[in-house]
Amino acid sequence: MQGKIALEEHFVTPALEGIVSGVGWIPEEWRRVLDRLEDVEERLREMDRLGIELAVLSLASFGVQDVPEPERAVARAREANDALAEIVAARPDRFAGFAALPMQDPAAAAEELERAVRELGLRGALVNGYSSLGDLETGVYYDDERYLPFWERLESLGVPFYLHPRNPLPGQRRIYEGRSELLGPTWAFAVETGTHALRLITSGLFDRFPGLTIVLGHLGEFLPFALPRLEQRLSHLPHVVLEKPATQYLRDNFYVTTSGNNHTASLIGILLELGADRLLFAADYPFEEMADGAEWFDSVPISERDRLKIGRTNAERLLGL
């Protein structure tokens, strides 16, 4: 398919290398990833070859969320967003951007989001999971009531919030001890991020702010396959009071991208559960190979009408392109 829009594509600059994570990569491989994160020309050549018209760029993980000091997080977010805006301004026909946000300081995050959207022209935000606060052993999740003014601002701006993965807090990794291969994208990323999304749902956030839009990568971090059972069990808990069934929030307030999860049976299942209007194409470059995602998506056995929605028109509508 020509003209695809890719929603989860990452970047970094040499000055920001220190806040992106090479955990799990051997040094030579990580240097290659950094080079590709910083490169524009190779990225554009691959996009041309694979029929990707537009890439929505975001700071690579763990980014600003891994900066425990709020004031420094604010400064690094501004630096990242200014750099991203320059990249987009140089090629607005090929790139758009999601802002990095210093969620360690909810008020500052709201102000930076508004600056990024209104002044820099970015199309929303991508946040790498919980934010470290004070030290790397302490994290804050965004169902905390201190974030209600932030969510109000996000809703008023009408832009999406991409909840991107990170590993569990160091003190919460007992189940992974001796099995570090299960951390990161192998397993822990999806469990951590899916649980964070469930915290948002069960907190009643979307009843309070029904116009919020959250994006999840990797075909939804397992949630589309778990929500029916979750919903059935929540119905037995009188302290959980929601205006809608839990699965309805996934259909009304969430989008799911294909990033790094090129699995046909899962895609078909999500189409049956959520419908084509809630799916978006992404490649997760350069942490995944752009060709793997694009070539799979172009040949996956779905209708051409759904392929166009997932590959392009849903993103146009969501991002106001």
pLDDT for 319 equals 97
Mean pLDDT of 151-179: 97
Provide the domain limits for residue 47. Answer: 4-319
Question: CB-based contacts of 129: which residues, under 8 Å, 6+ apart?
Answer: 62, 65, 163, 164, 165, 166, 192, 193, 196
Q: Which helix (H) or strand (E) holds 292?
A: helix 290-299
pLDDT 10s digits, 221-260: 999 999 889 888 888 888 989 999 989 999 999 999 999 9
Q: Is 284 a catalytic residue?
A: yes
Strand partners, 11: 59
Report helix, strand or coil for 162. Answer: strand
Peptide bond preceding 14: is omega within 30 degrees of 0, i.e. cis? no
- Residue-averaged pLDDT of the chain: 96
Mean pLDDT of 195-219: 97
* Site of tokens 């060709």: 291
Distance CA 54, CA 245 (A): 35
pLDDT for 219 equals 97
Q: What percent of the chain has pLDDT over 90?
A: 93
pLDDT for 228 equals 86
Closest CA to 47 of 1, 109, 113, 102: 1
C-alpha distances out from residue 124 to 21, 100, 160, 246, Å: 22, 9, 5, 24
Distance CA 165, CA 62 (A): 8
Mean pLDDT of 14-32: 89
Distance CA 280, CA 219 (A): 9
Q: What is the tally of structural domains in the chain?
A: 1
Q: pTM for the whole thing?
A: 0.97
Among 284, 292, 298, 306, the active-site one is: 284
pLDDT 10s digits, 1-10: 999 999 999 9
Distance CA 150, CA 141 (A): 13
Question: CB-based contacts of 130: which residues, under 8 Å, 6+ apart?
Answer: 65, 139, 140, 141, 142, 166, 169, 196
86: confidence class by pLDDT, cuts 50, 70, 90: very high
User: What CATH number is attached to the domain comprising 76?
Assistant: 3.20.20.140
pLDDT 10s digits, 27-55: 889 999 999 999 999 999 999 999 999 99
